[in-house]
Amino acid sequence: MRITRFLLLLLAVLVTVPFASARLHSAQDQPAADAPHRAASRAARLAREVPASPPPSAYNDHPRLAIILVIDQFRGDYLDRWRADFKDRGFDLFLDHGAYFPDCYFDYANTKTAPGHATIGTGAYTDGHGINSNEWWDLARNQERPVTSVEDDRYRIVGAPDSSIPGDQPGAPPNAPKYLPGSSPRNLLASTVGDELRLATQGQSKVFGISLKDRAAILPAGAAANGAFWIDPASGYFVTSSFYMSQLPDWAIAFNSGDSIAEAEQEAGLSNVTNFYGQVGRTAAANSYEINFAEALIQGEQLGQHDVTDMLTLSLSANDILGHRVGPDSSEEEQMVDSLDEQLDSFFTWLDKNIPGGLGNVWIALTADHGVAPVPATAAQYGLNAATIDLKKLSSNLNYAINMKFSPGEKVEYILPHQELPYLSLSESEFMKAGINEQEAESAVQQLLPAAVASLVPPPPEPPSTDMPAATPAGSTPAIQPSDKRLPPRPVLFRSYTREQLADGPWPPTPWGRLLAHSYSPNGGWYIMIIPAAYQMQAFPWLGTNHFTPYSYDRHVPLGFYGAPFAPGIYRGRVEPVDLAATFAAVLGINQPSASVGHILTQALKPAADVVYPKPKPVPPVRAHHTRTEIHHPGETSKAAPKARTSKAPAPKPSHP
Ligand SMILES: [Zn+2]
């Protein structure tokens, strides 16, 4: 009997061997004929490999704190452009000591602040998280103005000073804004990496978001965050919403009532500030102000001191507020970036001192919510066709043409007011009154659009009054008078899509098709997405430049990681900001966010065995009533603090170069 089994086994081995090499990768999954031997050697190998303690993860406090650092409006080329300016370990923390990806691009077309922050937190694009713009028309919620991506009148703002109480609430000052709704992530349809951390640790992890802007504080942090803080625009007070808490924590009240606001105004060289957001917000002092608040939060909430990983999303807004005015090619922008380099250096030094075990127990990811276009006049100087588009005039031209088509002789407002490209929302109620459904309305506007854009083109220059040949023969096309000078830029419509086209596709299997598929959300009602030619944008009297397009200057952002699992280096392959949440989730050992489409950046991860976290210094024992020798109680195990205190072990290494 035994011999028969042996022969069968031998036969099986002979049959299997020729295939063995082809099956190297699946060998563990498929029991082979020499299973008894393999099982024994595998068991021995596993016994060698099983670590004494579980591998580092969020569940055992590795890292102690994970920070997602977002710079609002920070194009991917800035770090190369101004590299020579950087000192110490601000941006160089990522460039010299971290894993840095210079080729990181958002893979969608609606490169605005709210969708950018939502994308960073959720690892999904607009088709996954639902946020397509900073604000949009929602006639069911408000018939007078667009709603913002995070406003939510079911909640109230918490922590604003008396001077900012809105006109519809008791105690409001005479010139108070009429209405100030609360905020929430009500429109965010996907979970964030912070939400997943909270779920994975049954709420033991603490997660917070900070920014000057409500949307940039709320959307990357998520719905399960313990809190999100942004500023009351007039006073600069940090506030939150009753969605998160009914009153500010004591440390935040202390921050608001301390000297921080006055110091920020002084640092900005300003006095009598009436609009903190607009006046201080566009100076480097606003970055210090936000970082000071982040430090107060880390101390107040004891981030990094829990048994599991904590997380902070910090979005620095000043670069965007300034950048819209001066553009990416100005000396002001360079100065702002250089100041931020120094501010980040001192923030990282502060973390090194204040997180147990130092900066080596912190992970920091650096990215941005979008890039930015050059100021159109600057681009036009070099010959690019960088026109600005008068959207009011475009809407009025369209309204005229739609009236001609559907209600001749009338002046119905079919296009809604207060709009921002790339979207143009239509008045559903007016079209319905005229008996026109969404498909008819959107395709009619889409067909009328090229002519409406063409009507914005500046008239050709006057024919020169010299002795050029005057008339053209009757009946022929007038001859074009060649210009000696470069003509002014002219608006060009590149593409347009109706909401229904965006919703349904089908998309060509190309990068462009994927970009558009990633951009869809029903927010905004009936709309057309307008994509002008590159370097063109809507004209705003108060803005020098903007970001909202599928062009690379708007989609290109930095992506860098610092922390124990990340292998330092410059990684030149194409990556996306959605990879941040996916990578963090994987290395934390938690689920990816609900709609994540990111990839784990395995190329930048060290082998698990090489990942080392510094051990925090033991808490010094109380010495008041004991001498050193008294602490050595007989029978005390080597685990106790005294051993560490009296041992000659080298001091913990500085956690970072
Ligand atoms: Zn932004």
Per-residue model confidence (pLDDT) at position 451: 96
pLDDT, position 341 = 98
Q: How far is the CA of 115 from the centre of ligand 1 (A)?
A: 9
Between the CA of 416 and the centroid of ligand 1 the distance, in Å, is 24
- How far is ligand 1, taken at its centre, from the CA of residue 117, in Å? 8
Q: What are the helix (H) ranges across 123-249?
A: 126-129, 193-200, 214-221
How many CA atoms are closer than 13 Å to the CA of 62, on its beta-carbon side? 17
| Ion ligand 1 residue ranges (Cβ < 5 Å) | 72-73, 113, 320, 369
pLDDT at residue 241 greater than cutoff 70: yes
Query: From residue 531, how far is each of 48, 148, 312, 546 by CA, in Å?
Result: 59, 22, 35, 14
Query: How many CA atoms lie within 13 Å of 86's alpha carbon, on the beta-carbon side?
Result: 20
Average pLDDT over residues 609-628: 70
pLDDT the model gives residue 640: 34
pLDDT at residue number 473: 56
Q: What residues does 157 pair with on adjacent strands?
A: 241
CA 228 to ligand 1 centroid distance, Å? 17
Give the model's pLDDT for residue 643. 33
Per-residue tokens: 154? 């079911």
Ligand 1 center to 650 CA (angstroms): 46
Cα(355) to centroid of ligand 1, in Å?
Answer: 29
Helix (H, G, I), strand (E, B), or coil: what is residue 227? strand
Mean pLDDT, residues 616-621 taken together: 70
Q: Give 599 Cα–ligand 1 centroid separation in angstroms.
A: 24
Q: Does position 624 have pLDDT exceeding 90, yes or no?
A: no
- Three-class SS state of 129: helix
**Position 653 pLDDT exceeds 50:** no
Distance from the CA of 426 to the center of ligand 1, in angstroms?
25
Mean pLDDT for the stretch of residues 71-76 = 98
| Rounded CA separation 333/339 (Å) | 10
Compute, in angstroms, the gap from residue 428 CA to the centroid of ligand 1.
29
Q: How far is the CA of 73 from the centre of ligand 1 (A)?
A: 5
For the cut 70, the answer to whether the pLDDT of residue 414 exceeds it is: yes
What is the 134 CA–ligand 1 centroid distance (Å)?
9
- Of 423, 517, 512, nearest to 126 by C-alpha is 517
Per-residue confidence band for 331, with pLDDT thresholds at 50, 70 and 90: very high
Q: Which pLDDT tens digit goes with each residue over 12-57?
A: 444 443 333 333 333 333 334 454 565 556 555 555 555 567 889 9
User: What mean pLDDT do residues 129-156 have?
Assistant: 96
As to burial, measured by CB atoms within 10 angstroms (0-12 exposed, 13-18 middle, 19+ buried), residue 509 is: exposed
Please give the share of the chain, as a percent, with pLDDT higher than 90: 76
Which residue did the predictor score with more confidence, 247 or 1? 247
CA–CA dist 585, 126 (Å, integer):
20
Spatial CB neighbours of 610, under 8 Å, sequence gap ≥ 6: none
Three-state secondary structure readout of 68-95? EEEECCCCCCHHHHCHHHCCCCCCHHHH
- Between the CA of 369 and the centroid of ligand 1 the distance, in Å, is 5
Q: Ligand 1 centre and the CA of 256: distance in Å?
A: 25
* Helix 250-257 vs helix 285-300: crossing angle, to nearest 10: 150
Kindly indicate the confidence band of residue 474, based on its pLDDT and cuts at 50, 70 and 90.
low
Q: Assign 568 to helix, strand or coil.
A: coil
Ligand 1 center to 463 CA (angstroms): 44
Average pLDDT value for residue range 468-478:
56
Residue 72 CA to ligand 1 centre (angstroms)? 5
Encode 33-68: b = buried (16+ Cβ within 10 Å), e = exposed.
beeeeeeeeeeeeeeeeeeeeeebbbbebbbbbbbb
- For ligand 1, the distance from its centroid to the CA atom of residue 324, given in whole angstroms, is 10
* Gap from CA of 78 to ligand 1 centroid (Å): 15
What is the number of residues in the chain? 657
Task: Name the band, by pLDDT with cuts 50, 70 and 90, for residue 404.
Answer: very high
Residue 69 confidence (pLDDT) = 98
Centre of ligand 1 to C-alpha 494, Å, is: 24
Pick the closest to residue 220 from 432, 99, 66 (CA basis).
Answer: 66
Residue 568 has pLDDT above 70, yes or no: yes
pLDDT at 153: 94
Question: What SS3 string covers 606-650?
Answer: CCHHHCCCCCCCCCCCCCCCCCCHHHCCCCCCCCCHHHHHHCCCC
pLDDT tens sequence across 364-401: 999 999 999 999 999 999 999 999 999 999 999 999 99
Instruction: Give, in order, the Cα–Cα distances in Å from 162 to each of 169, 246, 281.
Output: 11, 16, 21
Ligand 1: centre distance to CA 215 (Å): 10
How far does the centroid of ligand 1 lie from the alpha carbon of residue 5, in Å?
71
pLDDT band at 548 (very low <50, low <70, confident <90, very high): very high
Calculate how far, in angstroms, residue 133's C-alpha sits from the geometric centre of ligand 1. Answer: 11
Q: What is the pLDDT of residue 20?
A: 36
How remote is the CA of residue 337 from the centroid of ligand 1, in Å?
A: 16
C-alpha of residue 556 to centroid of ligand 1, in Å? 13
- Tell me the residue ranges of DSSP E strands in 139-258: 147-148, 151-152, 157-158, 182-183, 207-210, 227-231, 238-241
Query: What is the share, in percent, of the chain residues with pLDDT greater than 70?
Result: 82
Cα of 320 to ligand 1 centre, how many Å?
6
- Average pLDDT of the chain to the nearest whole number: 87
* Three-state secondary structure call for residue 104: strand
Angle at CA of residue 552, ends 514 and 393, nearest 5°: 90
The pLDDT tens digits of the residues spanning 85-134 come to 999 999 999 999 999 999 999 999 999 999 999 999 999 999 999 999 99
| Distance of CA 467 from the midpoint of ligand 1 (Å) | 54
- Tell me: the pLDDT tens digits for 172-230? 776 666 667 899 999 999 999 999 999 999 999 999 999 999 999 999 999 999 999 99
How far apart are the CA of 472 and the centre of ligand 1, in A?
A: 53
Q: Which of 193, 564, 541 is nearest to 364 (CA)?
A: 564
Ligand 1 centroid–CA 630 distance in Å is 60
How many A from CA of 328 to the centre of ligand 1? 14
